[in-house]
Amino acid sequence: MLIVQALRGKVGMIKLGLEFFTACGLSGIEEISKCGIPIFLDIKLHDIPNTVAKSIKVIKNLNIRMLTLHIAGGIQMLHDALNVVQNTEIKLIGVTVLTSMNDNDLKQCGVEKEVRSQVILLAKLAKISGLHGVVCSALEVQEIRRECGEEFNIITPGIRIDSNNNDQKRTTTPREAITFGADYIVIGRPITESGDLVRSAELILNSLRYI
């Protein structure tokens, strides 16, 4: 809660991930929502269509602006999820390939396509299914924009300020991601582990001011 309060007015949304959700649950989301900052709930749902739809029914009345689910769950799962969020303000955002994965990781999972090709394939599937956008690394943004259009939301994680990539393998700077055409950039550890949340957020904002 202290992090959220400190960043009020500095960020467009607060991302709550799986770690937060498993520790704090629905009550944690409700508490964060009291701060008035829109919530990006990044729990990457991936299960049979019925289970995903019922899970979304539980959380759809919370103050959530965006919710992620894996495109690889299939068209039926995506359609059922979309039916649940009709008449709400929630945008369903499809996860393509995690930014912690590279070509070799995909091959180990039985996927012969290179990361870029797999990301584009999944993004096009998300578009056809009616999702509001996708999560991908900035390296794939321009091609997805060409394939899926200007109205398709592109959210870019794997943002790093320096050479410390942590466990990410496909990273870019905030400025690069925006220049490539991302609509939203997800910045976690470069802010939360910086020692000075507000100053770090302000420095990032200033770096984007004249793009």
Residue 163: the pLDDT is: 46
Residue 175: the pLDDT is: 86
Residue 205: the pLDDT is: 78
Which residues form the domain of 8? 2-207
Residue 197: the pLDDT is: 74
What is the DSSP annotation of 48-64? Answer: -HHHHHHHHHHHTTSSE
Residue 20: the pLDDT is: 93
Residue 198: the pLDDT is: 77
- Number of domain units in the chain: 1
169 is catalytic: no
Q: Which residues of the chain have pLDDT under 70?
A: 1-2, 5-10, 162-170, 210-211
> Which one of the listed residues 10, 34, 44, 105 is annotated catalytic?
44
Tell me whether residue 15 is annotated as binding.
Answer: yes
The CATH number of residue 61's host domain is: 3.20.20.70
47 is catalytic: yes
Residue 129: the pLDDT is: 98
Cα 179 to Cα 136, 139, 147, 211: the distances in Å are 15, 11, 18, 7
Tell me whether residue 188 is annotated as binding.
Answer: yes
Tell me whether residue 189 is annotated as binding.
Answer: yes
Residue 12: the pLDDT is: 78
The two structure tokens encoding residue 116: 């870029």
Tell me whether residue 160 is annotated as binding.
Answer: yes
